[in-house]
Structure 1
């Protein structure tokens, strides 16, 4: 099972990736190597020109905001969706109450929209949960799963909500949508994985102009060939341990990423089954936070 995740990219890297989205003025960005339920973490939500609020404006005022306001903004919400069900929900099944056996070949409905508590927020309160990597099988043999070709940060498909307590204080929270595991995650012993929104679908995921069927079509397992993994220390099971050391490799990558030198014939992977990330590769992620 997917348990924790990592966001160590620099603030500038995140902004560059997501249309220069920004935090509220004066709020400091704090990276994390071990994000667990209950922690505050960063999400991308629509800015004014992507939200329903703009549609009620006059054409002149609307044009003004579309030109000057960002299409995406970064916010720090609590990890664990509150106020939707009777209890806090960290992970939300894309299939709803269907496919409880987690059959990887399931082709039925993404029935989350059939659950009464989610009918509204699946349509109107979607977010991208910012991540560089995620952890699976944390209680046995934890592995860090990441995108190949240095594709980070990326976004998990998330749902957010606002709640107000008896004193009128507002709080914001989010949960992460999950789907059946792809072959790489199953190889690591998992039967669920987070829904990763492909880069070309990120704007569509955030837009409130999509039909429900378009939204549900995005809730699929990410292609296994685009991911890789390596084992990390069991220290990551304790959320108190939150530094670069918890994502250092303690073994080899699941699949080799080394390439032979260019030749006149072709380029092909070295035939060794696994290789370890170099310390430089892992440390580079930490340096980006400076």
Structure 2
């Protein structure tokens, strides 16, 4: 699964990387956790140009009776996303890019209680995008929440020794197809959902300070 990630790039860098006209000022975030707001890019049928939008991490299906279900739906498996009731509608119509510049996974060591966190990022240190889905939910009292989930797939050779899943990173050339709400066929979308090339990534161990979601400083991403 993907349970923590970072996004420390400026609004100007994000706007240039994802070809967005307007991105609000952004605060560097080193330890983004489920149920928090995350920066995303989406494209609606009503407005075909890319939009930056903050969404709550943890997808709340439109039919859900309680928003709490979102805490359990922070990830969607690529193998079943097209069929699962919680995700299939969003997979067809509401896909997004979740902006990041690194993510964490934890490795279990035999005989030790605590897992060792590792930080993954691209070698060029540039921002990238997880494959995401988004949803609009309205409570009985009229309040509304826009939320998202991150897709995961089989690990690449860099991730495999540490974890058995990894988040899907969409390649820039595939952004237009992934964001196009007119494209609904799974056979056109599934080829985009592959493990990212390991030779373009690096990984290193980081401090267990990242284990606590309230810790959100540059110390989280520092190599130990």
TM-score interval w.r.t. the shorter chain? 0.7 to 0.9
TM-score (norm 1): 0.69
Is 1:169 the equivalent of 2:143?
yes
Indicate conservation of the 8 Å contact 1:121/1:159, yes or no: yes
TM-score (norm 2): 0.88
Map 1:1-290 to 2 at 5 A: 1-23=1-23, 28-46=25-43, 51-53=44-46, 71-83=49-61, 87-88=69-70, 89-96=73-80, 112-137=81-106, 140-150=115-125, 152-187=126-161, 189-210=162-183, 211-250=185-224
Aligned alpha-carbon RMSD (Å): 1.8
Change (3 A) 1:235 1:122: same
Aligned-partner SS, 2:204? strand
Task: Write the distance in 2 (CA, Å) between the matches of 1:43 and 1:161.
Answer: 12
1:233-272 CA-to-partner distances (Å, cap 9, x unmatched) read 000010111011111111xxxxxxxxxxxxxxxxxxxxxx
Q: CA deviation at 1:38?
A: 1.2
Change (3 A) 1:181 1:85: farther
Higher helix share: 1
Higher strand share: 2
Structure 1: where are the runs of 5+ without partners? 55-65, 97-111, 251-290
Q: CA deviation at 1:75?
A: 0.7
Task: Write the distance in 2 (CA, Å) between the matches of 1:85 and 1:163.
Answer: 8
Corresponding residue pairs, total: 211
Task: Write the distance in 2 (CA, Å) between the matches of 1:242 and 1:192.
Answer: 24
